Amino acid sequence: MVTRPTAPPPPPPPLSPEAFNAAYPPAPGSAPKLDADALLTGLNDRQREAVTLPPGPALVLAGPGSGKTRVLTHRVAWLVGVERVPTWQVMAVTFTNKAAREMRARLDTLLGGHAMDRLSIGTFHATCARLLRVEASGADILDFDGRFIIFDSDDQIRTVKRVVRELDLDDKQYRPRAILGAISAAKNEMIRPREYNPPTYWHEVAGRVYERYQALLRLSNALDFDDLLLETATLLRDVPAVRDKYRARWQHVLVDEFQDTNSVQYQMVHGLASAEIADAPHNLFVVGDEDQSIYRWRGADYRNIQRFRRDFPAARTVLLEQNYRSTQTILDAAQAVIAGNANRTPKELWTDSKGGAGITLFEAYDEGEEAAYVVRRIEQMNTRGREYGDFAVMYRTNAQSRAIEDALVRRRIPYQLVGATRFYDRREVRDALAFLRLAHNPLDEMSFLRVLNVPTRGIGPKALSYVQAVSDEFNVPLWSALQLLVDDEVERDLPGLGPVDNRSRNALTTFHTIIDGLLFARDTLEPSALLGRALDTSGYANWLRDGSEEGEERWENLLELRGVAEDFGALPPREALSAMLESVALVADVDGIAEGEDGAQQGERVTLLTLHSAKGLEYKVVFITGLEEDTLPHSRSANDPEALEEERRLLYVGITRAEEKLHLVHAFRRSLFGTTEVRQPSRFLTELPPEVLTPSAARTTRSRSKESSPRTEETQWRKAPTRAGAAAGRTQFHAGDKVRHASFGEGIVVTSAERDGDEEVTVAFVKGGIKKLLQSFAKLEPRG
DNA sequence: CTAATCCAGGTTTTT
DNA sequence: CCTGGATTAG
């Protein structure tokens, strides 16, 4: 593929205006020259067109499985290897670390491992963080300095809570989550506290919180996720020197998943590419798919694709419709579903792989049976030669994973859970990181307060109030206040508090000693050792490992964290520490961390994940579970047509993950927060054309679409439960009977379910409506 | 100050 | 169901 000439390549024609090359002479870090034909082999016509587009704005509309990442990476390779653009002039942004890593890896292969270090490839957030660290040091345009820390969602919510309490607000009426949402929304619109124009009284209050929240952030020299974007976009908009510098530097900007950009991200990209500098072409290459826009709730707007067309009328558009992933059957199903959305530009996906297995639709009795079904199918296919790694089980909400996990554990099938209680959200991990953050910067109040009394060392509200009082009195951070206290450099009688009692004093000294020790060690110990020291001297390790199973589990998480820390061992300690903390703050997914306890590799495990985290992935066999009203579409989306369209896109994303076989599963009833409810099948199911389904599944949807007719279907069980009915004393069944699962209208409801390999049967009579009926369900013991 | 216990509330998706 | 907050007993 990649050929390296033996003779030095002839000087390439400069892609960018000479003026730029003169002003910014190419730095070391140009890529090897690539052979254009070799680079393009294996690409289809459309892909080739996209990869070789002339400079200028470009929009690639890429359907699922159409080789989007391939196009992006080849485009970069084309630019640096064929067009001879210096690598440092290229910036590619993605949304996830995973995508960035993958791009990097693929480019590494394409470019033969050279010249990678000068390419800017990263997530929006990471890219912004890097830029801000540079720009905030020195210039005092910004109200924070380059050593800022990054607040994650937990820090954010704690801060908002603190402000809500401070302002004496009712946290029921002003729920911290909601307020944080409002703040985030404002930031996404680039609205600062002072410019905030509240539409309602509630928002006015939220605005007050916003102001104080922001002040607290800056007090800790902290930025939240939204700030990273906002401050960068503002800088590029308002400071010509900075803007021009980066425009000149990044002459080629490539954006992945453009449909998921929010307004700030759009402006940032737009700002970088605008042509206010004479002769600068807008070399902005964006790739996206409106149909896969699933982050509306955090400000993403697929209409940015339309906006792009409007703002860059000269943009060339390339449509990628050939799919290399799924069977035609699966594509047909996907298109039928997405066709239900009104606001979209139609695309016609096609593939060379005609036909394919029908899509199975299964109605389970409840989530337990749903899980049993999935697991049974996996086992069946596994014995027929499928690897566990070929399977993925997807769901709308993380809570749904529990039942599936249970079933997998019982059958001893190795699995991998993506996301869920994220590794870095675990309490012990956050505690441990708080120690490291304090070692990095003891003024970090969030971390200070977090571990001040963890493990408990006798510092309660009383002791804290001394520190707080000193902090207020002398207007210094908590850490400095603590220092003053333990060094006995403040008046013994604090205003309104009286003398500091000895117990508090001792406890505070203990804490001070711990952190001081870390500060002392941070320049010599590498992060993993520093972490070990922190856990030892703080007593955290002992406290955690109290002999309980839970304690050991948590301890293992800390060992994993230690493993993460070891990756930074090569750098000088001080640098390694900040690199590690930065990386950890911007990591969202757990991949690479959750290697199996049972020794199974990733490829040998069933993957469990939400539909959201499934984007960009593919599996041979996909199960989409919980296809019910109020789950998919989710109840929160019920009243909002826009939100409903997003739910449909979510299902579309899920369906198009499947390469060969798709199972759609829904349950007749499902328990949620303790109570059980009857579920209606998802409206999206009725949008599936019967011919994409397996015959029996097609029959089911058809009978279901006739509204008032009874909903019946034969169960999947071969053996009827033995005289289970008799045990109920209501009706009788015999071995060999065909058990029916009749939900409505027949006077009797019978369902079977599997539990621990045994079948469980439920029988009831219809009396007083379905709700009553379900309450009166009798649970029966199976008999041998 | 800590630990145990009770209670109410909130439960979508994630950089 | 699970968490986090509040309350209470020690």
First to last CA, chain A: 64
Q: How far is A564 from A554, CA to CA, in rounded Å? A: 15
Token couple for A11:
């000087």
Q: Is the CB of A175 under 7 A from strand C?
A: no
pLDDT in tens, A730-740: 333 333 333 33
Among A174, A201, A203, which residue's Cα sits nearest to residue A186? A203
Q: Is the CB of A328 under 7 A from strand B?
A: no
The confidence score (pLDDT) of residue A705 equals: 40
Lowest-pLDDT choice from A228-242, A419-433, A483-497, A540-554: A483-497
Name the nt closest to A298 by C-alpha to C1'.
Answer: B14
The confidence score (pLDDT) of residue A111 equals: 82
Q: How far is the CA of A401 from the C1' of C2 (A)?
A: 15
Q: How far is A673 from A446, CA to CA, in rounded Å? A: 32
The residue whose two tokens read 């019910």 is A628
pLDDT-derived band of residue A512, with 50, 70 and 90 as boundaries?
very high
DSSP conformation class of A32? P
B3 C1': nearest CA residue: A456
pLDDT-derived band of residue A64, with 50, 70 and 90 as boundaries?
very high
| Residue A43 to residues A60, A320, A322, A657, A733, Cα–Cα distance (Å) | 15, 11, 11, 21, 61
A744 against A583, higher pLDDT: A583
Q: How far is the CA of A661 from the C1' of B1 (A)?
A: 59
Name the nt closest to A675 by C-alpha to C1'.
Answer: C1
Q: Are A48 and A17 in contact (CB under 8 A)?
A: no
**Strands A391-395 and A619-624, how do they pair?**
parallel
Percent share of chain A, pLDDT over 70:
79
Decide if pLDDT at A2 tops 80. no
Token couple for A633:
């579409």
Q: How far is A510 from A516, CA to CA, in rounded Å? A: 10
Tell me the average pLDDT across A121-126: 91
Q: How far is A162 from A180, CA to CA, in rounded Å? A: 12
Decide if pLDDT at A368 tops 90. no
The confidence score (pLDDT) of residue A493 equals: 65
Q: How far is A251 from A618, CA to CA, in rounded Å? A: 33
Alpha helices in A384-460 (DSSP H): 401-410, 427-440, 445-451
pLDDT in tens, A263-308: 999 999 988 886 554 455 678 999 999 999 999 888 899 899 999 9
A667 against A25, higher pLDDT: A667
Name the nt closest to A427 by C-alpha to C1'.
Answer: C3
Q: How far is the CA of A508 from the C1' of B5 (A)?
A: 29
Lowest-pLDDT choice from A383-387, A456-460, A757-761: A757-761
Q: Please, what's the b/e burial string for A310-327 (b: 16 or more CB within 10 A of its CB; e: otherwise)?
A: ebbeebeebbbebbebbb
pLDDT-derived band of residue A504, with 50, 70 and 90 as boundaries?
confident
Name the nt closest to A176 by C-alpha to C1'.
Answer: B10
Instruction: Assign residue A42 a region (left: φ > 0; alpha: ψ between -120 and 50; beta: otherwise).
Output: left
Average pLDDT score, chain A:
79
Q: How far is A579 from A577, CA to CA, in rounded Å? A: 5
Q: Is the CB of A674 under 7 A from strand C?
A: yes
Q: How far is the CA of A405 from the C1' of B2 (A)?
A: 36
Nucleotides of B under 7 A from a protein CB: 1-3, 9-15
Q: Is the CB of A104 under 7 A from strand C?
A: no
Three-class DSSP category at A568: coil
Token couple for A349:
């996906």
Q: How far is A415 from A765, CA to CA, in rounded Å? A: 40
Name the nt closest to A224 by C-alpha to C1'.
Answer: B15
B11 C1': nearest CA residue: A673
Indicate the pTM of the whole model.
Answer: 0.79
Name the nt closest to A587 by C-alpha to C1'.
Answer: B15
**Strands A498-499 and A493-494, how do they pair?**
antiparallel
Instruction: For A428, list phi and psi in degrees, rounded to 5.
Output: -65, -35
Q: Is the CB of A673 under 7 A from strand C?
A: yes
Max CA distance (Å), chain A: 92
Instruction: For A75, list phi and psi in degrees, rounded to 5.
Output: -65, -45
Decide if pLDDT at A531 tops 50. yes
Q: How far is the CA of A128 from the C1' of C1 (A)?
A: 39
Q: Is the CB of A466 under 7 A from strand B?
A: no
Decide if pLDDT at A727 tops 90. no
The confidence score (pLDDT) of residue A140 equals: 65
A22 against A313, higher pLDDT: A313
Q: Is the CB of A161 under 7 A from strand C?
A: yes
Name the nt closest to A295 by C-alpha to C1'.
Answer: B13
Q: Is the CB of A380 under 7 A from strand B?
A: no
Q: How far is the CA of A568 from the C1' of B14 (A)?
A: 25
Residues in chain A: 784
Q: How far is the CA of A529 from the C1' of B3 (A)?
A: 32
Q: How far is A694 from A680, CA to CA, in rounded Å? A: 21
Q: Which helix (H) or strand (E) holds A284?
A: strand A284-288
Among A754, A757, A758, A761, which residue's Cα sits nearest to residue A779? A761
Three-class DSSP category at A664: strand
Active site positions of A, annotated: 68-69, 256-257, 292, 657
Q: How far is A602 from A389, CA to CA, in rounded Å? A: 7
**Strands A498-499 and A606-610, how do they pair?**
unpaired
Q: Is the CB of A615 under 7 A from strand B?
A: no
B10 C1': nearest CA residue: A673
**Which of the listed ranges A100-104, A479-483, A699-703, A753-757 does the model predict with the highest average pLDDT?**
A479-483
Q: How far is the CA of A270 from the C1' of C7 (A)?
A: 55
**Strands A606-610 and A391-395, how do they pair?**
parallel
Cα Rg of chain A, angstroms: 30
Q: Are A277 and A323 in contact (CB under 8 A)?
A: no
Chain A, 182-201: which CBs lie within 7 Å of strand C?
none
Which residues lie across from A416 on neighbouring strands?
A607
The confidence score (pLDDT) of residue A285 equals: 95
Q: How far is the CA of A504 from the C1' of B14 (A)?
A: 40
Q: Are A304 and A632 in contact (CB under 8 A)?
A: no
- For residue A428, give every residue at least 6 positions away whose Cβ sits within 8 Å of its Cβ, in sequence order, or none: A544, A554, A555, A557, A558
| Residue A2 to residues A36, A334, A658, Cα–Cα distance (Å) | 9, 36, 31
Q: Is the CB of A401 under 7 A from strand B?
A: no
B13 C1': nearest CA residue: A612
